[in-house]
A and B are shown apart, each in its own frame.
Chain A
Amino acid sequence: MFTYYLQLGLRSLRRNPMLTALMVMAIGFGVSASMITYSVFRAVSGNPIPEKSSQLFVPQVDNWGPQQNEKGEPPGALDYIDAIALMRAHQASRQTLIYPVMLSSPQPGSSSTLVSTGGYAVMSDFFPMFNVPFLYGNAWTGSDDEKRAADIVLSEEFNQRMFGGANSVGKNITLSGHDYRVVGVAKHWDPSPRFYAVWSDSAFSDSPDFYVLLNRMLDLQIDTSGRNSCRGRLEFNGWNQWLQSDCVWMMPWVELDSSSEVARYRQFLEAYAADQQHAGRFAWSPNIRLRNVMGWLEEQKVVPPESRISLAVASGFFIICLVNTIGLLLAKFMRRAAEIGVRRALGATRHEIYAQYLVEAGAVGLAGGVLGLVLTAAGMSGVGLLFEPEIAKLAHLDVSLIGLTLMVAILATIAAAFYPAWRAAQVQPAWQLKSN
């Protein structure tokens, strides 16, 4: 029966080409506007590490106090003193500090030209904590951290550029005039948004080239290439005094595998802040936070407001298109009341009439979905109009978006057709047959 309904539907759609075109366009425009904006929203609001996002936490300690902090919230990173103290206490099963660094490397093939290369200074736990996959070699160990070794892990892409993709483990690489030993090459890994560095860096910037041993960076006095935020009077002068200041720049992460560990860690943070208060370093009572990945992304407002606004407006637009479609379908179906009466008299059940018109609407939805796909594909290039290139490139037409576009178009149109088709199915068989 489905093919019969489809034949009837197509025939009927051909009979009113203007009306059909109007509905198809409404659905097409509506669904494509929603899908384009959704593709961006999906990219910026997704869970970057779904398998572990509820076990990874950012500890925050208020070292600025109620007068200087941001509306009562502790800063989003730690100063050097607190960062090192939390690591020394080692109250989590895994923990790391992170800060972004920018170094120079020789252009492969031409030793006289330099290119800049960006990466993160991290600790050994970084790799197992965040499930970084390895192509060659391994992460360095905790004892390497202690030894402040010149160890580095390259990204697959950087290894491709520098070593032609060969196994570079054990080789040396010179960055900004210092030598590092390659201990591993990470397989392509770039969670988006880059949750572990959002405070300091753009959450969607180019993927890092390397991960380098943090203590080594500190020894070389390699400064953060990201954010540094200070409060009060700036009394430091030079690197060592800066480390002792209240400037926050180090991003801490801890892994806590059970709710009891989380509770214990929270107690530990409270106690730490209380100790600082007793020691006279903080003139305020403990103000700490412990947020997991999604809580952290929310707090850091990773989703640009433009993404939400455009998604909301586009959805509103789609709803109007659907209301429009309901009206047009109603008009179209009821215009054929006479035919429905005859079909009913000839033995069509209400369900059959209902199904016939829903299939017709489904055909409109499919056509609208195909138009929507074309418009979505065209509109993807327009995403760059609204967002920076690094966000725009995240929006792309993949298989799931194609499926979603068609599905949304068809289901939404069928949903819009529920009422008009119900009205059509209510047409009485007798009514149209009155000979007067």
Chain B
Amino acid sequence: MQIQPILAALRRHKAGTLLIALQIALTLAIVCNALFIIHQRLSHLSEPSGVDEANLFVIENFWGVQYSTQEASSEIKADLAALRQLPAVEDAAPSNSYPLRGGGWDNFISLTPEQIKPTTDASVYISDESLIHTLGVKLIAGRDFTPDEVRDMGTRENIHPPVVIVSKAMADKLFPDGNALGKPLYSMSAEPTVIIGIVERLQREEVNTWSAPFVNQSLIWPMRQAIPIGLYYIVRAKPGQLAAAMQEAPKALYGRNRMRIIDSHDGLLSFAQVRQRAYNRDRGMAVLLGIICVVLLAITGAGIVGLTSFWVGQRRKQIGVRRALGATHRDILHYFLTENLLISLGGIAVGVLLTFGLNLWLVTRFELRVMPLAYVLSGVVILLLLGQGAVFAPALRASRVSPVEATRPV
């Protein structure tokens, strides 16, 4: 197929040609960036939290009266005993927070007491010796807390427990050589806290852009949150009995002491709900962009069909003349496919620049990463296929124009 005459013909349809090329360029830019964002968001979604999600739920327990530290502590112990007695409950633990909660407590971590710039940042969980079993996280080194290591923490009390259990990500960050066990770390204090255990994985309380550099870095301190506001109970149901446990637990707590508040709306959340809330934006973003991509490609394709059909209609006589002069069906088909390919390539050339421009804007504005070339290449392939596919039907119709058309008046 000769390209020269096609280009010459396109020059006579400047507006239409430019419009299709522009549409392809813009579509490429949006689709590539959208695919990239979708992929990033979805990869977040599948990150494991390290806990036994299928059987876990959390209770947000506010105290109805201003308990003193001692009062709160004994209430907590009694609550836990009541929870553990329930037939559907495997274990229960007190806590200040839970993984994927969306915010909470984090401390800077240093390797020496003199250090001013911290080494890293840890998501802080405080609980007793039951937390590791309750969460179902795997202790891969060292030991769990003993009951006598657990202390009560009252309002704005600043206790630095001598022992700590850290996540593997945390241990690896602080001690890359893998000998973290038994080493001290300093958490905003001159007092050391010694690593006595390492758990395989324990995700942080928040999963946002700020905490991305510290992903999975967390620590557990042996403390009971005995403050007047309240605390969380993390409860692990026996396998398959989550629903039953979630029904029993609040009843048992209210039955023991009514002076508490468990919000009817979100005071009781299964871990599946927790995960859904935590990744709501990520999933929503992926769905929204996915829909936009599909509709966009459909509209661009339909636009190409529409404009090409018009051109074919406009050039029926010309096509008839070509057919009369000996062009085959295939020649006509190829003519329109090649014409679309040329326009698409022009649009893609501009589109690639726009794609990187848009990506650059997203990088500077929203701290996105730089797009790998693979996305642009797949976007280019998608649009070329779309263009050829869209132009095929009108081109086929053009190839069926009878040579008799040449003799008919316009």
Residues of A within 8 A of B (CB): 19, 22, 25-26, 29, 33, 67-68, 102, 104, 112-116, 176-178, 220-221, 223, 225, 230-239, 241-242, 304-306, 308-310, 313-314, 316-317, 319-321, 323-324, 326-328, 330-332, 334-335, 382, 384-388, 419, 423
Residue among B23, B63, B116, B365 having the largest count of chain A Cβ atoms under 10 Å: B23
Q: How far is the CB of A332 from chain B (nearest CB, A)?
A: 8
- B188 contacts across to A, CB distance below 8 A: 230-234
- A29 contacts across to B, CB distance below 8 A: 295, 299
| Nearest-neighbor residue (CB-CB) of B263 within chain A | A116
Q: For the complex, is B16 an interface residue (Cβ under 8 Å from A)? A: yes
Q: Are B258 and A67 in contact, with the CB atoms below 8 A?
A: no
Q: For the complex, is B12 an interface residue (Cβ under 8 Å from A)? A: no
Q: How far is the CB of B75 from chain A (nearest CB, A)?
A: 14
Q: Are A22 and B283 in contact, with the CB atoms below 8 A?
A: no
CA distance A178 to B292 in the complex (A): 54
- A388 contacts across to B, CB distance below 8 A: 277, 280-281
CA distance A177 to B377 in the complex (A): 66
Q: How far is the CB of B109 from chain A (nearest CB, A)?
A: 13
Q: For the complex, is B47 an interface residue (Cβ under 8 Å from A)? A: no
User: Could you tell me the dominant secondary structure of chain B's interface residues?
Assistant: helix
- A235 contacts across to B, CB distance below 8 A: 158, 189
Q: Are B307 and A331 in contact, with the CB atoms below 8 A?
A: yes
Cβ-Cβ contact count across A and B, 8 Å cutoff? 172
- A324 contacts across to B, CB distance below 8 A: 23, 299-300, 302-303
Contact of B306 among A236, A238, A328 (CB under 8 A): A328
Contact of A114 among B258, B285, B296 (CB under 8 A): B258
Interface residues of B in 132-161 (CB under 8 A from A): 154-159
CA distance A112 to B23 in the complex (A): 66
Contact of A26 among B108, B156, B157, B303 (CB under 8 A): B303
- B16 contacts across to A, CB distance below 8 A: 327, 330-331
Q: Are B23 and A327 in contact, with the CB atoms below 8 A?
A: yes
Q: Are B366 and A223 in contact, with the CB atoms below 8 A?
A: no
CA distance A22 to B155 in the complex (A): 64
Q: Are A386 and B284 in contact, with the CB atoms below 8 A?
A: yes
Q: For the complex, is B15 an interface residue (Cβ under 8 Å from A)? A: yes
| Nearest-neighbor residue (CB-CB) of A16 within chain B | B306
Q: Are A305 and B30 in contact, with the CB atoms below 8 A?
A: no
Q: For the complex, is B26 an interface residue (Cβ under 8 Å from A)? A: yes
Contact of B283 among A232, A335, A385, A419 (CB under 8 A): A385
Contact of A314 among B33, B209, B292 (CB under 8 A): B292
Residue among B65, B159, B283 having the largest count of chain A Cβ atoms under 10 Å: B65
Q: How far is the CB of B138 from chain A (nearest CB, A)?
A: 31
CA distance A232 to B227 in the complex (A): 23
CA distance A384 to B313 in the complex (A): 46
Q: Are B313 and A335 in contact, with the CB atoms below 8 A?
A: yes
Q: For the complex, is B261 an interface residue (Cβ under 8 Å from A)? A: yes
Q: A237-B156, A386-B284, A423-B15 are in contact. List 9 more A-B contacts (CB 8 A).
A: A22-B302, A102-B229, A116-B263, A237-B158, A241-B158, A313-B30, A330-B16, A335-B313, A386-B287
Q: Are B303 and A328 in contact, with the CB atoms below 8 A?
A: yes
| Nearest-neighbor residue (CB-CB) of A225 within chain B | B229
Q: How far is the CB of A386 from chain B (nearest CB, A)?
A: 3
The total of chain B residues at the interface (CB under 8 A) is: 66
Q: Are B299 and A25 in contact, with the CB atoms below 8 A?
A: yes
CA distance A352 to B95 in the complex (A): 76
Q: For the complex, is B6 an interface residue (Cβ under 8 Å from A)? A: no
- A382 contacts across to B, CB distance below 8 A: 288
Q: Are A323 and B23 in contact, with the CB atoms below 8 A?
A: yes
Q: For the complex, is B45 an interface residue (Cβ under 8 Å from A)? A: no
A104 and B62 in contact (CB under 8 A), knowing A233-B188, A317-B296? Answer: yes
Interface pairs A-B: 4 shortest CB-CB: A386-B284, A331-B310, A242-B156, A114-B64
Q: For the complex, is B207 an interface residue (Cβ under 8 Å from A)? A: no
Q: For the complex, is B321 an interface residue (Cβ under 8 Å from A)? A: no
Q: For the complex, is B404 an interface residue (Cβ under 8 Å from A)? A: no
Q: For the complex, is B341 an interface residue (Cβ under 8 Å from A)? A: no
Q: For the complex, is B122 an interface residue (Cβ under 8 Å from A)? A: no
| Nearest-neighbor residue (CB-CB) of A326 within chain B | B19
Interface residues of B in 65-110 (CB under 8 A from A): 65-66, 108
CA distance A68 to B117 in the complex (A): 8
Q: Are B19 and A330 in contact, with the CB atoms below 8 A?
A: yes
| Nearest-neighbor residue (CB-CB) of B307 within chain A | A327
Q: For the complex, is B181 an interface residue (Cβ under 8 Å from A)? A: no
| Nearest-neighbor residue (CB-CB) of B283 within chain A | A385
- B300 contacts across to A, CB distance below 8 A: 320, 324
Q: Are B261 and A114 in contact, with the CB atoms below 8 A?
A: yes
CA distance A419 to B18 in the complex (A): 13
Q: Are B299 and A236 in contact, with the CB atoms below 8 A?
A: no
CA distance A423 to B14 in the complex (A): 12
Q: Are B299 and A320 in contact, with the CB atoms below 8 A?
A: yes
Q: How far is the CB of B280 from chain A (nearest CB, A)?
A: 6
CA distance A237 to B154 in the complex (A): 9
Q: Are A67 and B117 in contact, with the CB atoms below 8 A?
A: yes
Interface residues of B in 48-73 (CB under 8 A from A): 62-66
A320 and B19 in contact (CB under 8 A), knowing A22-B303, A223-B227, A387-B284? Answer: no
A306 and B281 in contact (CB under 8 A), knowing A113-B258, A324-B303? Answer: yes
Q: Are A236 and B156 in contact, with the CB atoms below 8 A?
A: yes
CA distance A384 to B280 in the complex (A): 9
Q: Contact mask B15-38 → A, CB, 8 Å, 1/0?
A: 110011011001101100110010
- A113 contacts across to B, CB distance below 8 A: 258
